[in-house]
Amino acid sequence: MGRAIKMETPPLAPLSKSVQRVAILGLIFFVWALAIALRLLQLQVFQHDKYRHLADIQQEKLDHIQAPRGAIFDRNGNYLAISSEVPIVTVNPLRMPDKDTAAGLLASVLHLDKQEIFSDLVSAAARHRGYLIVDSDASQAEVDAIRKLNLDWVDIRKGTARSYPNGQLAAHVIGNVNAEGVGIAGVERKLDKDLRGTAGLARITTDVHRQGYDSEIEKAPVVGKNVTLTIDSRLQFIAEREIAEAVTREHAERGSIVAMNPYTGDVLALANYPTYDLNEKMKPGSRFYGREDYAVVAPFEPGSVFKVVTLTAALETTNIRPSTLIDCGNGSIRIANRIVHDSHPHGILSAADVLAKSSNVGAIRIGMAVGNANLLKYIHLFGFGHRTGIELPAEAPGLVRPLSRWGPTSIGSVPMGQEVSVTSVQLAEAGSVIANGGFLVRPRVVLSEQEPGGQKIERARPKPVRVLKPQTAFTMHQLMERVTLPGGTGPRAHVLGYTTAGKTGTAQIFDTAHHLYTHRYNASFLGFAPVANPAIVVVVTVSGTTAFGATASGPAFKNVMSEALRLMGVPRDLPDEIKEPPDNKVQPKGQEDDLAIADAANPLTPEELQRALGDPSDDGAIQVVRAQNVVAPQAPDFIGKTIKGVMEEATAKGVQVDMKGRGLARAQRPEPGAALLPGEHVRVLFMR
């Protein structure tokens, strides 16, 4: 047998170094490719949603879409406030490389003041605010020019501009909005939430400069409610004309008129003078320029108008009747250590004549018969000492002292309208109690609201509350009518063709610094017509005048009442042939003087006057200045300084002051650090 041959495999030749390098490189590339594939799988499959969201954040932004603000109408459907869409130029002060250059650029394109813009930018940056409205009323050409600059710290947004077709008409009722569309006064502020609606959201796709080039609506805005006021524009115009004429004619400081339906509480006109134009633009960063709604926020001692309350309380709680004889002491009466005078001496007068001739002594005698507790009760029943609840901001409650704060001579002051403070709206509310037969009806300026596309829904109002017997109210109708007839204090207020009832009032203004009454007056007239079936109540107040109630306020009352009755179509209840006597013959000289002779022993203290204004936190103007971070000077701290020191500091800071008294500064108003409104003076009281 042949021997098997064993075959051996020759050993592999070692790889060359070049081949080894290629193999290692290939392995590296394979591992790298595998890692990339795994990473792509992780990014595009397992973490797709996460990184898609991050990309969206970089490429998209959500922007609020301001809802169109609801319109405001008068009771006849006439527009009082409307909104239209406009572009708003905003900036981010925190992203600006150079604020001075930015201010110059914005000012040149938008035609604004460079220094004002620069100041706003610095102020916003100091407060770390990344959003500032530069121009809320830019033209389309200005907006296009801004866009061409392609600045990453500028943004153009859609907004709405508020306009008021009638200018200053009903300015204090309507109010206005700031540059950001937020209500800051009047109904615009009180019903801001309803009028503003609900903002929407837009998703905007942006480029590398964060400039939008595409968008879609994420959430549609909800239009604000339309609001209908109780105001009648025709009567409002007349009231504003008449109060401006009365204040100017009598060289007074200010005045107000309130016209109200005594059965529903609808305020048909509410006018103040001075007033302002609602279309005046308030630029971002500018000082608040609004005016006070004196009829609502400025309480005052009413004077003889208050005798209506005194006599009404007597008819309800005592045996005094219109024919009851009252000893008026020949024009003077002593109460404790104080003597009160009549402006003209009277002997024996009937209770009816006490009201018609406005005898202070007679009113005090009647008040003493009523008693402190009953008098205070009826003061509250008429609504004094409490806010009426009218839909306007910063309403003052006035001030009625509790019995524990009545002094020995208070019964000599309160019956003739001293030691209490009221507002014109409260007087209209009280006058309505008499006019409507004894019901307390709350005044209101908002008639109804309407959802977009929905029906008008009348706002709920408190149910009228009976506070007087019907016969008492009707008796007061007759007694107040005598005031407007020859022999009374208010024949100038008599309306031709109609029976007219009313009451004059002239109250001395109290100087809190010197603790005495001045010879400047709050001159008022409260009345209604026709007497048998009153259709409207009108209150006129002229403050800071030297004239009496009948002279200062009577003519305005007559003209407003006459036009109101005509507009309402109220039939005349007096023969047309009865002519009105000339003004210089309506009353013998001096007989219209219804001044409450004061020299009061227990006047309202400065602290009580402050409380009468209400809670300062409810002051609309001041709160707007603070809440909106509006640039405004602050009241310096003058307390403890001499007169010279106060003058020097006031001059240095450009603050106007009213100084009264001598010695060192003991009190001031506004308080130190409070925001000062344009033209507002700081009142400083000096005492030794």
Answer yes or no: do 215 and 248 share one domain.
Answer: no
Query: Minimal CA–CA distance to 294: which of 105, 98, 543, 521?
Result: 543
pLDDT at residue 626 in the model: 41
Torsion, Cα of 178, 180, 181, 183 (10° steps): -50
pLDDT at residue 621 in the model: 41
DSSP 278: T
Token pair of 95 as six digits: 């992203």
Find where tokens 């898609």 sit.
Answer: 52
Task: Check which CATH number belongs to the domain holding 223 and give it.
Answer: 3.90.1310.10
CA 347, 352, 355, 357 torsion: positive or negative? negative
pLDDT at residue 294 in the model: 93
Task: Check which CATH number belongs to the domain holding 652 and give it.
Answer: 3.30.10
Into how many domains does the chain fold?
3
Answer yes or no: do 194 and 267 share one domain.
Answer: no
Answer yes or no: do 183 and 142 share one domain.
Answer: yes
Q: Is residue 538 part of a domain?
A: yes
Answer yes or no: do 212 and 245 share one domain.
Answer: no
Ramachandran angles phi, psi of 120, nearest 5°: -65, -40
Q: DSSP readout, 372-431? A: HHHHHHHHHHTTTTS----SSTT----EE--GGG--TTGGGTGGGT-SEEB-HHHHHHHH
The one-letter code for the residue type at 369 is: A
Instruction: Identify the domain boundary among 556, 588, 606.
Output: 606
The angle formed by the CA atoms of residues 234, 238 and 241, to the nearest 5 degrees, is 140
Instruction: Identify the domain boundary among 606, 640, 658.
Output: 606
Q: How many CA atoms lie within 13 A of 118 on its CB side?
A: 12
Answer yes or no: do 211 and 249 share one domain.
Answer: no
- Reduced to 3 states (helix: H, G, I; strand: E, B; else coil), residue 35 is helix
Answer yes or no: do 252 and 191 share one domain.
Answer: no
Answer yes or no: do 202 and 245 share one domain.
Answer: no
Task: Check which CATH number belongs to the domain holding 495 and give it.
Answer: 3.40.710.10
| Helix-helix angle 114-126:99-110, to 10 degrees | 140
Burial of 153 (0-12, 13-18, 19+ CB in 10 A): middle
Strand partners, 215: 204
Q: Is residue 398 part of a domain?
A: yes
Q: Is residue 44 part of a domain?
A: no
Instruction: List pLDDT tens digits, range 29-86.
Output: 888 888 888 877 777 777 777 766 666 666 666 666 677 889 999 999 999 999 887 7
Cα(102)–Cα(105) distance, rounded to whole angstroms?
A: 5
Q: Is residue 387 part of a domain?
A: yes
Measure Cα distances from 565 to 266, 538, 572 in Å. 15, 11, 9
- Please say whether the beta carbons of 89 and 133 come within 8 A: yes
Ramachandran angles phi, psi of 421, nearest 5°: -135, 140
- Please say whether the beta carbons of 291 and 451 come within 8 A: no
Token pair of 527 as six digits: 């009345």
Query: Minimal CA–CA distance to 315: which of 426, 464, 477?
Result: 477
Helical (H) or strand (E) element with 541: strand 536-545
Cα(479)–Cα(502) distance, rounded to whole angstroms?
A: 9
Cα(414)–Cα(312) distance, rounded to whole angstroms?
A: 14
Q: Is residue 616 part of a domain?
A: no
- Please say whether the beta carbons of 440 and 382 come within 8 A: yes
Q: Is residue 388 part of a domain?
A: yes
Domain range for residue 180? Answer: 63-229
| 530 prior amide bond cis, ω within 30 | yes
- Please say whether the beta carbons of 521 and 252 come within 8 A: no
Instruction: List pLDDT tens digits, range 206-256.
Output: 665 555 545 556 677 788 899 999 999 999 999 999 999 999 999 999 999
pLDDT at residue 82 in the model: 93
Answer yes or no: do 602 and 660 share one domain.
Answer: no
pLDDT at residue 160 in the model: 75
Answer yes or no: do 103 and 145 share one domain.
Answer: yes
Q: Is residue 38 part of a domain?
A: no
Answer yes or no: do 192 and 264 share one domain.
Answer: no
Q: Could you say which residues of the chain have pLDDT below 50?
A: 1, 213, 283-290, 583-586, 588-590, 616-630
Answer yes or no: do 200 and 238 share one domain.
Answer: no
Q: Is residue 74 part of a domain?
A: yes
Answer yes or no: do 646 and 664 share one domain.
Answer: yes
Burial of 574 (0-12, 13-18, 19+ CB in 10 A): middle
pLDDT at residue 3 in the model: 59
